[in-house]
Amino acid sequence: MDDRQKRLLFRSQHRGTREADILFGGFAARYVAEFTGPELDRFEILVGQNDADLVDWISGRRPPPPELDSDLMRRLIRYGNDRHR
């Protein structure tokens, strides 16, 4: 992984809430090394979002806002759904 990927992985795994660390950090640990440049850009935007919002979006409690509803967000939501099966 390059420095950017390592930084995003660290930030994903150290969110501040346990639930976000597990969901978001687990997703990053699995996929961040495979992300393309544009996917890293979209992921970096998600990393900057509030933990409570991220957990709500990933768990399906609320839909993500249209500006964040991307292929990467849908992949993250599928990851969250698969963890709870």
Q: Which amino acid is residue 82, in one-letter code?
A: D
What is the rounded distance in angstroms from the CA atom of residue 15 to the CA atom of residue 67?
Answer: 22
Locus of tokens 């640990």: 29
What CATH number has the domain bearing residue 8? 1.10.150.250
Domain region containing 59: 3-83
Q: What total of structural domains would you count in the chain?
A: 1
Q: Are 49 and 69 in contact (CB under 8 A)?
A: no
pLDDT per residue rounded down to tens, the chain (85 residues): 899 999 999 999 999 889 888 888 999 999 999 999 999 999 999 999 999 998 899 888 999 999 999 999 999 999 988 876 5
pLDDT of residue 84: 62
pLDDT of residue 47: 93
